[in-house]
Each structure stands twice: as C-alpha cells, then as structure tokens.
Copies of this chain bind each other. A is one copy, B any other.
Amino acid sequence: MSLDEPHKKPHERLSRWLAEDMAAVNWTIRARMASEHAPRIPEVTAHLVEAGGKRLRPLLTLAAARLCGYEGTHHIRLAATVEFIHTATLLHDDVVDESAQRRGRPTANLLWDNKSSVLVGDYLFARAFQLMVETESLRVLDILADASATIAEGEVLQLTAAQDLATTEETYLKVVRGKTAALFAAATEVGGVIAGAPDAQVKALRRYGDALGIAFQMVDDYLDYGGAGDGIGKNIGDDFREGKLTLPVIRAIAAADADERAFWQRTIAEGRRDAEDLGRARAILARHDALSQTRGAALEWAGQARAALCVLPEHPLRRMLDDLAEYVVARVV
C-alpha cells in the first residue's frame, strides 16, 4: 500500500492502513450486537452501525494503539467499545432531540419508537461495558467511566442551557466536551494505555483526541448554519430549531444590537419561529462574522491537536492523525 495517497481523505487513509484491524472491529461489533433473547436488538443497531458512518472513533483507538507499537488484540475490543458507546448516545440523542434524520436516514425512533431507542441504547452501553472489562485494565475502565460521566453530564448541561441566551463560551465548551470531545479523548487515550505507552505519550494522545473533538464539534456547529445539508447528512438549522446555544450564536448574541437581541429572544429563548427566521439568523451571523470566528476557533483547536502529536513516535499513522486534524476544519471552505 502506498503511504502517499494525497487524493484520499485522511480518515480514508486511516481506514486503509488499519483495514485488517477494522475488519476485526466490525466482526466484533456484529457478534456483540447479537442477542439470543431479544432479536430486535441487532435489527435496530444494524440500522445505525451499517449507515456508513466514518467510524472515526474506533479508527482513533486503533491508530493510537498501533502508533504506540501495540501488537495484542485488546485494541479491537476497545475500538468496538468506543463505537458502541457512540451508537448508544446517538440512539438516546434521537429520543431527546426528536431530530428528523441522522446521517441522512430516518432516525431509529421514527422507524421504531422511543422505547426501542432508549432500551437498545442501554443494551449497547452494557455490551460496551462487557467488552472493556475483558481487557482487564483498570486504568482503561477508569478512563471510560470518566468519559461516560462527562458525556452524560454534557448532554444534561446542553438540555439545561438550551434557550438560555446567557450561556457562556465556557459552558459551551463543557457541552462540546460532553457531546464529542470526551469520547474522542478517551478513544485515543485508551489506545495508548493498552499499548503500554509512556505517560507523556498517553497524555499527548488524550490531548490530541480532546482538541480534535472540540474542533470537530465546532465545525459541526458552524455547518448547522452554513453547510450543505445533503453533504453531511444533517439538516441545516437543527440547532436553531432546537434552541441550542452554539458558538456562532453565542458570538452573535455578544455583538447584538437591540433589534437582534429581540430576534434571539423570540426565536431561541421563547422558541417562537417562523419559516424565514433561519435565513435571518444566518444573515445576522454573517453580519457579525460569527461563522468565520467559529471556524477560527476550530482551526485553533485543530492546531493544538496537531501540536500534541509531536511527542509521539514517528510513524505513518502519526502523519495521518495530523492530516485528520487539518482536514476536520478544512472541510469547511
């Protein structure tokens, strides 16, 4: 395999480099989804797992472990663990957000129902838990337990902060860590831990995952007001309709005049919106440069992710991780 495939996207190069490992991860996911007692479970999860997500999180775990020279098999279990946790949070998010589509397909809770989404999500959490226990590493368990708490806390915080115009950037960052960066950081960190990497490298992997996750989520929040809906499988304006205080809006509110403040008060705080309001919101964001500020913040985090990599061993995977950090922001042009 050629190391240089500049025409390929970084996660595609990671996928190719780690193809054998990913095949084992997919096999593990399929095997562990199966439920003898409740055949409906694989039916619900297959819908999500097969939906052609990029499998970014398991790739991060595999890449971190391999980059640190790991030769065992526990990284497969951990990669599957991380994907199960991710899928479980998507299932629970679907209940929560009442979002009409996910990854461009109808959400599980529209195809089945809220009940299945909650319970199958719980099942996936439990399966993830079993898989990680099999690694017999208390340090790994500790990291994943903390990540789970940060994720759940971030989700609740997002719920509480919704519609609250006084939401600070600090709170926004906590929400972002909860919904995205905590699992990215755990994904890379456990890869290093299972490989027995030195502490400085484990810390660097964690910092990389955390910063990458933050950049990734900021871009997502940017795209929700600016990207092309079909390209990312997400409806434009979801965050606006759900009254989420994302960075573009926080910045725009900080710079708002009285008219604009009344607009945000009505549309976000009071949730009274009509068909033209999304367009007006986008115009206000543009006027205050809030979208390019968000892109700038994402770029900064991506830079921190790339900087963290310097203590890690020279390795083709390291370059792919570096490119990945660049790419998650570059996709927004």
Given A40-B159, A125-B125, A153-B35, check contact A146 B130 (CB 8 Å).
yes
Q: Which of A120, A138, A145 has the most chain B CB within a 10 Å cutoff?
A: A145
| Residue A110 is within 8 A (CB to CB) of chain B in the complex | no
Interface string of A117-156 (1 = CB under 8 A from B): 0111011011101100100101001101110110111111
B133 x A145 contact (CB < 8 A): yes
A129 x B129 contact (CB < 8 A): yes
B37 x A157 contact (CB < 8 A): yes
Kindly list chain B residues whose C-beta atoms are within 8 Å of the C-beta of A116. Answer: 156, 159
Closest beta carbon of chain B to A272's beta carbon, Å: 19
| Residue A41 is within 8 A (CB to CB) of chain B in the complex | yes
B114 x A152 contact (CB < 8 A): no
Alpha-carbon separation in the docked complex, A35 to B144 (Å): 18
| Residue A95 is within 8 A (CB to CB) of chain B in the complex | yes
| Residue A174 is within 8 A (CB to CB) of chain B in the complex | yes
Kindly list chain B residues whose C-beta atoms are within 8 Å of the C-beta of A151. Answer: 122, 126
B152 x A122 contact (CB < 8 A): yes
Kindly list chain B residues whose C-beta atoms are within 8 Å of the C-beta of A331. Answer: none
| Residue A160 is within 8 A (CB to CB) of chain B in the complex | yes
B123 x A145 contact (CB < 8 A): no
Kindly list chain B residues whose C-beta atoms are within 8 Å of the C-beta of A332. Answer: none
| Residue A96 is within 8 A (CB to CB) of chain B in the complex | yes
Alpha-carbon separation in the docked complex, A156 to B92 (Å): 15
| Residue A7 is within 8 A (CB to CB) of chain B in the complex | no
Alpha-carbon separation in the docked complex, A114 to B35 (Å): 26
| Residue A115 is within 8 A (CB to CB) of chain B in the complex | yes
B123 x A95 contact (CB < 8 A): no
Alpha-carbon separation in the docked complex, A272 to B148 (Å): 41
Contact partner of A96 among B92, B118, B154, CB < 8 A? B118
Q: Beyond the given A37-B154, A122-B125, A125-B152, please list 10 additional residue pairs across the A-B interface where CB-CB is below 8 A.
A: A38-B153, A38-B154, A92-B118, A95-B118, A96-B115, A116-B156, A119-B155, A123-B156, A125-B148, A130-B148
